[in-house]
Amino acid sequence: MPPEILPPELAAAFPAAGRIVAAQPSGHGHINRTFVLTAEGGARFVLQQINGRVFRRIPELMENIRRVTTHLRAKSPRGLELVPARDGAVFVRDSAGEAWRLYRFIAGAHTVDQATDPAQARETARAFGAFQAQLADLPGGRLHETIPDFHHTRRRFDAFAAAVVADPCNRAAAVRAEIAFAAAREADADRLLGLLARGEIRERITHNDTKLNNVMLDDATGRGVAVVDLDTVMPGLSLYDFGDMVRTSVAAAAEDEPDPARVEVRLPFFRALVEGYLETAAGLLNATERAHLAFAGRLLAYEQGLRFLTDYLQGDTYYRIHRPAQNLDRTRAQFALVRGLQTQEVALDRIVSEIHGSP
């Protein structure tokens, strides 16, 4: 099946959407496939195929999303809303066994892949902070872990080390410098896990994929209006969410920028993230969490670099690629960001204390 063609049976799988007259591929995700559907009468919807190789437990994942969207929509009405399939199911399987779900289209809002103005970073952080705060009282017990150990940096490091040893595509020899860079920072992998184990920070419901483009911004006001891409909403650390925002908002270059020299740390964007995040999430965070906001950015860039490098060594089986060495470019860009964040550590910590006062 060519990736951009919608299986015809899908158009009829969600009767509540009415008769579908158009389907357009959409989005830039590395994992799922997304289409915008238009029904007779003009109503629009977002149809997604959930990648079953990455997400092994789709019923549990969709139960999380049903609970989370129901809870959030009671607090902010522009959030994501699932459209039921036949018999009220939250997703359907096509004849090939692939899982699909449908959301109502959020009109009058857009996403940005790269921040061009600190206001975009501020709004994104405000929205993710509000998301965590609004989910703090989610009823019904602990959410399912849709991908176990998703941000467990120790396990991510171990998977990377195993890929170096196995080297199934004979790529390790050509990436010695990147392997050495990763190995030299191994100790960082245990830092937040240590704080968690000692009870100094705690688990919460987090988004776990807080890329800039996972917040929709209002077309007219630029305000963050909805958090999207809820597949990895599960128990996690606030610092993972904040760190992933730093990773995707602070660098002045694309995630797969081939020239690492262009990956520069933009302090005003970091400041905007801290301001936005503390505006909505300050009440959740303890002093240890506040003291690690800058470190979290470096850690998440490091973790993401490890994941890209692991995938490159394993032959590009996880992240969708559009050119041969894209996962290597992605690795190098992440590691350049790690280096930049490390160089700026004092300045970043100073920004946090200026905004919040010393922890």
User: Considering the complex, what minimum distance in angstroms separates the CB of residue 176 from ligand GN1?
Assistant: 24
**Residue 30 binding partner per list Mg ion, ligand GN1, none, with a CB distance cut-off of 5 to 8 Å that depends on partner kind:** ligand GN1
Closest among 77, 202, 68 to 139, alpha carbons compared: 68
Of 89, 303, 97, residue with least CA distance to 189: 303
The stretch near ligand GN1 (CB under 6 A) out of 183-191, 227-235, 290-298, 340-348 is 227-235
Smallest gap from residue 48 Cβ to ligand GN1 (A): 11
User: Smallest distance, Å, CB 136 to Mg ion?
Assistant: 22
Going by the DSSP 8-state scheme, the letter that residue 126 receives in this structure is H
Among residues 123, 241, 255, 316, the one that binds ligand GN1 under rule CB under 6 A: 255
Residue 167 to residue 55: CA distance in whole angstroms: 25
Best CA proximity match to 241, nearest among 191, 285, 306: 285
The verdict on 229 binding Mg ion (CB under 5 A) reads yes
Nearer to ligand GN1, 304 or 326 (CB): 304
Q: Quote the CA–CA distance of 45 and 295 in Å, as a whole number.
A: 39
Q: Does an H or E element contain 29, and which? A: none
Pick from 11, 43, 54, 291 the residue near ligand GN1 by CB under 6 A. Answer: 54
Q: What would the x/- binding string for ligand GN1 be over residues 11 to 40, using CB under 6 A?
A: ------------------xxx---------
When the beta carbons of 29 and 359 are compared against ligand GN1, the nearer one is 29
Between 333 and 352, how does the x/- string for binding to Mg ion read (CB under 5 A)?
A: --------------------
Q: Does 232 bind ligand GN1 (CB under 6 A)?
A: yes
Query: Which two three-digit tokens encode residue 281?
Result: 């999430």
In whole angstroms, the minimum distance from the beta carbon of 39 to ligand GN1 comes to 26
Residue 103 forms beta bridges with which residues? 46, 82
Residues binding ligand GN1 (CB under 6 A): 29-31, 54, 209, 229, 231-232, 255, 304
